[in-house]
Amino acid sequence: MASLLSTATKTAHSVATSLLSASEAKVGSTLPLKVPVKEDSPGQTTTFEGIKGKNVFVGVPGAFTGTCSMQVPGYIKAYEEFKAKGVDNIYIVAVNDAFVTKAWKEQLAPEGTPIHFIADDQGAFTGALGMLFDASGLLGAPRSKRYVAVTEGDTIVHIAVESIPSEVTVTAADKILPWL
């Protein structure tokens, strides 16, 4: 019986991930502007409506995971290089709650950072980009694929997605800077 329930749960997670996720974003796709996300407070939502300029969105599978905690400091350290190339904002997006993303930001940048750590606690923003995958075996629920999207206003002008979410090859900060 337990094995049947386990199989049913895995199947349900996989089906839910497929249903929640649109087709994968590509160059020319528009950001999901009206989808609510959170930054500093779990009780306060915001959207990306009205976003302007050049922005970098870094999608990660999970705050505090080893690979994500090695990838994000590259963006923190290179922040001024991104600004020099005309980037207005960098957003780190994780399918985690705002308590977690805020604590992760404080751990990675104890002196502070202008980089925005975005909690997509329902996975709706990530799903609308087509970037959800079933990580229930390791992380307990659907999570974000590891991706970087560079936008001009609300339009994606460059995108990179790791084929293996636990690796950082095409989404490292030093790989993204030459695109700008």
Which positions are catalytic? 68
Q: Quick one: which H or E segment has residue 69?
A: helix 66-77
Per DSSP bridges, beta strands 155-161 and 45-46 are unpaired
Burial class (CB in 10 A: 0-12, 13-18, 19+), 170: middle
Question: How many other C-beta atoms can be found within 10 angstroms of the C-beta atom of residue 98?
Answer: 21
CA-to-CA distance for 78 and 174, rounded, in angstroms? Answer: 8
